[in-house]
């Protein structure tokens, strides 16, 4: 791939922070130690900690880091450079819409974007690029070249990418309006609230295949099920109020075959480490924990496979709730 080699040469010529480097490690202790001392341009990778399974990427704009989980286990972390002022990287839940190892920008002078993984059709992607130690991109999430290559090799189309935080801020700023997503050409996606007498809505034919993501709003007491980048269901749900943190859980499969939920720690705590393993969730247990309508829980249960992600947020799912919109996926077009 001559163009990719040329892109790599161009990236190598760009200024890099002094001492920027990558590290391959074999133990969780080494990974944690390296992750706590990353400087701009640094990364650490430990694939043997979880050799197989679904991959989820969590991007923390506040800390300017990206953390890779495979089968719920952290296997890598890298520094990033996100969107500069006026071109801020959108936050939300995304799926990988396109992968192109030899991509060039059609917006910015044919600029090389090696190991590109598209998150939206209007120009937001993961790709290799310069990391000056602060947000500098036009909205994309730049990664070190070698880390981008390794990440590209372990992700799949439709994989989940969660982007949270605010670049330059000391803590997460909530962004109400979680379902203010737009499709190609800026056309709003249809995320209609439930009618007054509706307990749930089920539309599995909207996306027959793809990874499942569940978004639960404590404020709205609503669950939205997305498969790939399309809404396939919505239900009323009861979850305890008063919790202000955002949580992400991933359904993982142990070597013996047992399923369990891994809770991934978000920026309110120490970056990147799994903090809890929850017991297996049967459809009845899921309904008990979240108080879903039993009929909806029965429809959802067959779709709960390793890699399923749950985002639990204190914010609203509906537009017009104030604040900035937080994108939930993007239309596949």
Kindly tell me the burial class for residue 313, based on how many C-beta atoms sit within 10 Å of its own C-beta (0-12, 13-18, 19 or more): buried
Q: Please, what sign has the CA dihedral across residues 94, 99, 101, 102?
A: negative
Q: What is the DSSP annotation of 240-268? A: -S---S-EEEEEEE-TTS-EEEEEEP-TT
Tokens encoding 295:
């009929």
d(CA 92, CA 281): 25
d(CA 167, CA 184): 26
Distance, first Cα to last Cα, the chain: 27
- Catalytic residue numbers read 127, 140
Q: Taking the CB of residue 250, how many other CB atoms lie within 10 A of it?
A: 26
d(CA 62, CA 250): 22
d(CA 285, CA 295): 13
Q: Please, what sign has the CA dihedral across residues 201, 191, 163, 322?
A: negative
Q: Taking the CB of residue 80, how many other CB atoms lie within 10 A of it?
A: 27
Q: Report the SS3 class of residue 205.
A: helix
Tokens encoding 68:
């890779």
Tokens encoding 236:
């009323």
d(CA 177, CA 184): 19
């Amino acid at each position: 791939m001559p163009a990719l080699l040329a892109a790599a040469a161009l990236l190598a010529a760009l200024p890099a922070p002094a001492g920027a480097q990558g590290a391959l490690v074999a133990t969780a202790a080494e990974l944690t130690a390296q992750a706590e001392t990353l400087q701009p341009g640094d990364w650490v990778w430990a694939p043997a900690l979880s050799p197989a399974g679904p991959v989820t990427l969590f991007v923390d704009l506040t800390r300017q880091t990206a953390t890779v989980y495979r089968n719920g286990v952290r296997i890598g972390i890298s520094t990033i450079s996100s969107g500069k002022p006026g071109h801020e990287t959108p936050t939300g839940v995304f799926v990988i819409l396109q992968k192109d190892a030899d991509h060039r920008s059609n917006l910015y002078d044919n600029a090389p974007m090696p190991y590109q993984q598209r998150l939206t059709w209007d120009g937001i992607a993961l790709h290799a690029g310069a990391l000056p130690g602060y947000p500098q991109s036009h909205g994309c999430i730049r990664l070190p070249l070698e880390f981008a290559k390794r990440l590209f090799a372990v992700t799949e189309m439709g994989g989940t990418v969660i982007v949270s935080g605010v670049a330059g801020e000391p803590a997460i700023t909530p962004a109400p309006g979680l379902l203010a997503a737009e499709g190609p050409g800026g056309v709003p996606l249809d995320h209609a609230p439930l009618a007054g007498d509706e307990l749930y809505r089920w539309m599995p034919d909207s996306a027959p295949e793809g990874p499942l993501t569940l978004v639960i709003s404590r404020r709205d007491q609503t669950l939205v099920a997305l498969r790939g980048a399309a809404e396939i269901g919505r239900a009323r749900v009861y979850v305890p109020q008063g919790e202000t943190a955002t949580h992400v859980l991933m359904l993982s499969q142990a070597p013996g075959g047992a399923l369990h939920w891994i809770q991934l720690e978000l920026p309110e705590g120490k970056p990147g480490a799994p903090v809890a393993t929850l017991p297996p969730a049967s459809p009845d247990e899921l309904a008990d924990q979240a108080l879903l309508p039993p009929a909806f829980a029965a429809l959802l249960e067959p779709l709960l496979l390793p890699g399923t992600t749950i985002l639990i947020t204190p914010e609203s799912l509906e537009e017009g709730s104030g604040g900035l919109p937080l994108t939930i996926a993007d239309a596949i077009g």
